[in-house]
Homo-oligomer: A and B are copies of this chain.
Amino acid sequence: MTDRYASFVQSGAGRALVKRLGLPDPPRLRRHNPGDPLLPGPVLLGAATGGRLADPVAAILTAAGVDVRTGTGTAPPAAGRDDSAAADGPTAGHGAAAAADGPAGRDERAGNGGAPAGGGTSARFGALVYDATGITDSTGLRQLYDFFHPQARAVLPSGRVIVLGTPPAECGSPREATAQRALEGLTRSIGKEFGRGVTAQLVHVTATGDAGTPTSLEATLRFLLSGRSAYVSGQVVRVGTGPAVVPADWNRPLAGQVVLVTGAARGIGAAVARVLARDGAQVVALDVPAAGDALAAVVNEIGGTAVQLDLTTADAPTRLADHLAERHGRVDVVVHNAGITRDKTLGRMDADRWDAVLDVNLSSQERINDVLLERELIPEGGRLVAVSSIAGIAGNRGQTNYATSKAGVIGLVDSLAPALAGRGISVNAVAPGFIETRLTARIPLVVREAGRRMNSLAQGGLPVDVAETIGWLGWPASGAVSGNVVRVCGQSLLGA
């Protein structure tokens, strides 16, 4: 469960050797601790001409205590070093939508490139955030270059790059849809290029309804900027129109929520139970009776309650619904984490392996959802969060059963999200990549090392990274996020 190579690399002797030999250089990722500021430095906020989001974003960030700089990219003074020096523009709220189309003020650093470096002195922004909604034609994409090129080295380690766009399907012309779709090529390349734990995302913000208001966007921006999203990179997140309820305290975004976590006795499930309890949830932790002791330990640690139940039995959904109805009267967030693997190539796979994996990982989720929804135990503002897998996206040798079940989970999200939008219930999934658990620790060394390093962050993720992502999707404030499958994979090379 430990990445000894990463520990070594982060030591003094290790650093020297890594540099000398050109070995993979996994950075220590910034992770969330309650009370942390959102970012380790100021945000540089830019916008293409005519963008609709820079002002609301500036308002959100400023209210969140972030130091917001605007303009075309003149670097601010090094954070924490010379804060009294004159900033180069208004700090927030106005001017944010200024066009990034002129060369004025751009500092020339064409010679020092975007290659990963061990924290050069030019890195001074916690995040670069760009409102690209104003780009309506491919020729307008040049504005991206004008904003990002001078700042390619100016992002602090574990900093963030966020580009905001319009969902292509909502665009008014093929030209606009084409340009908006092009943004994805930029953010995915930046994720692979910037290094040092910097992540890059594209956020598609709907232009319909009340969307684009601070309320609907705030949860997603806070998640993506914070250490909560340490292992999420290269993703496209869609923010729509669902109702969002801002918490009284952003350090307890799940305060008062009743959360069910299946498969909670160990691994990712136990991390989910811990993180959600830390964030204020009343956790109902479920696992099979055989895992009773481990489940009890988790529950005692976090002050939740335990349910021992085999989800594949015929009466499990009803028994679970009865339990939730009697004890809590409802369940606000359902985290379908329980899952198994039974790997074999298809020719060697007996039918029991197929059936068990499909039933635990997919069909039992459907049966539980149906009963909970039919009995209206999931109230308006409820959240379904399922666990898919990178194998469900890309397929995997020896996992026809597992990949089929996890691809089905994506179908469940795609189909249930619109079906439940009218009830104010969001449906999303996470798709973990290589996560350091008891299971991955058993993988042979060479395969394990390949899995760990073949991503933009050059390391495996931790269960807490998956848990934080699930937590965000479960927040009352995340109602505008539905129908998403968010990979927690450090932008793994693997894909479909």
Contact = CB atoms under 8 A, between A and B. Distances in A.
A434 to B, nearest CB: 13
A276 B295 CA distance: 64
A60 to B, nearest CB: 26
B408 A142 contact: no
A345 B495 contact: no
Contacts of A419: 174
A391 B193 CA distance: 13
Interface string A200-212: 0000000000000
Contacts of A412: 174, 178, 181
Please tell me how many copies of the chain the complex holds: 2
Contact of A178 (B145, B153, B171, B415): B415
B138 A393 contact: no
A140 to B, nearest CB: 10
Contacts of A187: 395
A115 B496 CA distance: 21
Interface string A359-370: 000110010000
A283 interface: no
Interface stretch (A220-228, A346-354, A470-478): A346-354
Interface stretch (A35-43, A374-382, A399-407): A399-407
What is the interface residue range for chain A against chain B? 35 or more
A168 B415 contact: yes
Contacts of A114: 345-348
Interface of A: 109-115, 138-139, 141-142, 144-145, 148-149, 152-153, 168-169, 171, 173-175, 177-193, 234, 344-351, 354-355, 358, 362-363, 366, 391-412, 414-416, 419, 493-496
Contacts of A402: 185
Contacts of A345: 113-115, 152, 193
Contacts of A414: 168-169, 177, 181
B175 A366 contact: yes
Nearest to A191: B395
Contacts of A416: 174
Given A111-B348, A182-B408, A415-B168, A355 B189 contact: no
